[in-house]
Amino acid sequence: MKSYREELYFNLPTRRGLVNITPQVEAAVRKSGVREGLVLVNAMNITASVFINDDESGLHHDFEVWLEGLAPEKPYSRYRHNGFEDNGDAHLKRTVMGREVVVAITDGRLDFGTWEQIFYYEFDGKRQKHALIKIIGE
């Protein structure tokens, strides 16, 4: 069985932002040489998420509005965690959106459903963060 590991690095200029990382994951699958297997992609920071959904700007806006309604960034005083940092909302948003995705690799390609793409969603940016790509298979 083959195994391949790669990290992606992000430094979003805004506190929150969404990045389609599908091309980088596809490139890692090609580099790995795995034809049949699995790829795991996970956020390596506890204030970011990796998830699968549609790459449609209206939906991206809806995520932002919905998440901000669930866990508003401000007032910072609403979160007990904010005694340490001002990112209590980011931890909650990450919990809702998830930590990682696993995608099947079939015939050397990501085996997606219609419209599926992989996204990195940062909730506490303005500094370097990263995600892990781990590929196993034959």
Contacts of 8 (CB under 8 A, 6+ apart): 21, 24, 120, 130, 131, 133
Question: pLDDT at residue 84 above 90?
Answer: no
pLDDT mean across residues, the chain = 97
SS3 95: helix
Q: Report pLDDT digits (tens) over 92-101.
A: 999 999 999 9
Mean pLDDT, rounded, for 53-66 = 98
For residues 51-64, give the mean pLDDT: 98
Residue 108 clears pLDDT 90, i.e. is over it: yes
pLDDT of residue 136 exceeding 90: yes
Q: Which residues contact 53 (CB under 8 A, 6 or more apart)?
A: 59, 116, 117, 119
63 pairs with which residues across the strands? Answer: none
Measured in whole angstroms, how far is the alpha carbon of residue 126 from the centre of its chain?
Answer: 16
Q: Where are the chain's structural domains?
A: 2-55+93-137
Closest alpha carbon to 64 in 79, 49, 85, 45:
49
**pLDDT band for position 83 (cuts 50, 70, 90):** confident
Query: What class, spelled out in words, does domain 2-55+93-137 have in CATH?
Result: mainly beta
Give me the sheet containing 109-110, strands edge to edge: 2-10, 129-137, 37-43, 100-106, 109-110
Residue 64 has pLDDT above 90, yes or no: yes
pLDDT-derived band at 85, boundaries 50, 70, 90: confident
For 5-26, what is the mean pLDDT? 97
